[in-house]
Amino acid sequence: MPIELANVSCSYRSNTDELIPALQDVSLNVGDGEFVGIMGHTGCGKTTLIHIMSGLLAPDSGMVLLDEQDINSDTYDRNELRGKVGVVFQFPDYQLFESTVEKDVAFGLKHKRLDHEETEARVRWALETVGLPYQEVRSRSPFSLSGGEKRRLAIAGAIVTKPRFLMLDEPIAGLDPQCCQSFMRTLASMNCDGTTIVMVSHNADVMGEYAKRLLVLQDGSLALEGTVQDVFSNLERLRGLHINAGAPRAIGNMLARRGFNVPHTVTSYKELLYALKSIL
């Protein structure tokens, strides 16, 4: 498997020097071309998991393998890692620092030894891939953009090196429904083109529509893992974890209890509509 975590544990020290576990003995795999969602309550270890998978944080114990190589080994080439894995943080302002949009996106290419024309072409590609018109935004300050545009810019900065894996931490938090759908379509398009997506989100409706596999964390441990359909079908277990399976699954479950033959695999509004058309 391209990314493998084997018995990974990680702890933080509190202000009182107390050792607080963030992840406990987590093992998982992420294959090429997957769209993996990560869910769980605040403080369950989701962000820590993203940081460890992307090499931003080393675990206390266990191994993180990328293409069967230990990314925390002293001999591993970190530049190679940064070329393979892109990261988008929950708050895009943390990633934006240059005076113009163009310079901000181009920053990730500084070690690529590309000439001016190649750099400009790569920046144009990255911006237009996420739906930002190059000529219109290239000279603007990153901080003059809207919230949705900043998130797109953060992704452009992460994909400009054309990584195989893109890790995103709550990228749709705070976006209005229209911006959210536009943003997710961009990710889905990238995934169709071969980019592996690993995304943290509390939004079950979005996970049900776009993710193919889910990881659910509880208190730093992997509580549930499987296809979106399998995880969202386990309603009793999800209730115990205080996680909902999204409106489409809830509506389908309600209709099923009233005698309608709605499949338990329904996790998106599109699938729910198709099921209702078939029934009616």
pLDDT tens for 50-63 read 999 999 999 999 99
Does some domain include residue 260?
no
Q: 254 lies in a domain?
A: no
Q: Answer whether residue 275 shows pLDDT above 80.
A: yes
pLDDT (0 to 100) of residue 31: 93
Give yes or no for residue 181 having a pLDDT over 90: no
Q: Which range marks the domain in which residue 189 is found?
A: 3-245
CA distances 138 to 4, 18, 70, 116, 122, Å, are 38, 47, 38, 15, 13
Residue 270 within any structural domain of the chain: no
| 147 vs 34, higher pLDDT | 34
Kindly state whether residue 267 falls inside one of the protein's structural domains. no
235 pLDDT exceeds 90?
A: no
Domain presence at residue 13 = yes
Is 189 a domain residue? yes
Residue 251 within a domain: no
Q: What is the mean pLDDT of the chain?
A: 90
What CATH number corresponds to the domain at position 205? 3.40.50.300
Residue 1: its pLDDT value, please?
Answer: 58
Determine, yes or no, domain membership for 266.
no
Q: What is the pLDDT of residue 215?
A: 97
